[in-house]
Amino acid sequence: MSSRDWEKELAKIDKQLASIPDEELIPAPVPPATGMPRGVAAPAARASSVAAPVIGVTGKAKAWAFTKLALAVAAGVAIWFWPWPARCGLPLIYLVAAGGGTSLLGVWSSASTWRLRMGRAHMLSLLVVVSGAVLVAREVLPRVGYAQSSFDRPDRWSCQAAPPAPATSPGTESGAPGSAGAQGA
């Protein structure tokens, strides 16, 4: 077909479109229950529900979410000021459990802030989760051999005394088999 034939065809289509009323060109939206199989939403309804704000959010739901957030933040700050020494034994287990509980409070709070599209509150909830995880990692990692131990975080969980150092013979300086003191004896 030449370009002239295309122009004739397009002119016919334009005349046909001009003769049809706009209401017939744009069909009315089909409700999901009548035009689609059960459980499947119409494409237009699906697309609009993704970007739409949460419908039916009451002040009560937001107040409850802020209450959860306040509890999680209070626990997240307070856990870093643990009042008892927790180098070993049961106090250490309690501290690690409380740190894990703090992270769980942050998850609980972040679930409701996410659902209610409360961005800043959600970020604060996630900070509480990370804070609890950091505290737990700070106590656990030296005890499992992954981080360097220190006086406050020894490489053992129990409070038993450290094993005694190997005894050295009177004539050795370092007690190592290959040391100069051991060879002179």
Closest alpha carbon to 111 in 65, 164, 80:
65
Q: Look at residue 138 and give its three-state secondary structure.
A: helix
CA distances to 22, 48, 140 from 96, rounded to whole Å, are: 68, 45, 8
pLDDT at 184: 47
Interval 117-167: pLDDT, tens:
999 999 999 999 999 999 999 999 988 888 777 777 777 777 776 555 566
pLDDT at 80: 92
CA distances to 47, 56, 63, 116 from 59, rounded to whole Å, are: 27, 10, 6, 11
CA distance 127 to 138: 16
Closest alpha carbon to 133 in 158, 117, 110, 163:
110
Which of 63 and 33 is assigned the larger pLDDT? 63
Return phi, psi of residue 34, to 5°: -95, -35
Interval 105-130: pLDDT, tens:
999 999 999 999 999 999 999 999 99
Question: In this structure, what token pair is assigned to residue 157?
Answer: 């969980």
Q: Do you know the residue count of the chain?
A: 185
Interval 59-110: pLDDT, tens:
899 999 999 999 999 999 999 998 888 888 888 899 999 999 999 999 999 9
pTM for the structure as a whole? 0.56
